[in-house]
Structure 1
Amino acid sequence: MKYQIWYMKPSFLRSIVGSSPESNNLSATHVHLKDIEADNQEDALSRMRAENWSPKGEALDFQSKGLQHATMTIGDVLVDEGDAVYLVTGIGFSLLPKT
């Protein structure tokens, strides 16, 4: 399955407590990083660990995108082929409602 990988902008980090990004306006709070192939959400999360996808420092250009983290983490987002939007949480993934 293909997934779009969206990393949270540092400016949204300050306001994430108690709020979620809007699924139809991810670019306001997140940066589209790349598209990947993965078996499922957990596999996508594993593939987006910095040591797996950026072993030679491929993530060093993140600052030009306004990002400060290389490993997918809480607050980041996956969008699957069916346009379902999943927020990475502390206990897995939360399906965001269509807005």
Structure 2
Amino acid sequence: MNRILVLAADEDDGLGSAIRRAVGDTDYVVRPRFRTVGELRELLPEADIVVGDWSGALPLGSAEAALAPRLKLIQQPGVGVNSGSSASVRSGAGARRCSRHSDAT
């Protein structure tokens, strides 16, 4: 079972419910309750997948990547990758496997 951390700001944006419908009971979807960097860092060690935040309030950098040993994928919805660079995220072991695609853009 994967633990999916959804950082999107709006609970009613449809993204969280769409992910829950798509994965059913096979994965566990989590959202930060208070949307602070401290809470993000507390949730990252158990995250397998992170769906990024387009507001920029919860950036994913090298400090956050170091806290996420299980990380397999970072999905950034929207246009651009302002909330996390491939160079900084690449320091996380799991992120190393998936950052090359973003280098090409």
More helix by share: 2
Tell me, yes or no, whether TM beats 0.5: no
Tell me which interval the TM-score lies in, with the shorter structure as reference length.
under 0.3
TM-score by length of structure 1 reads: 0.24
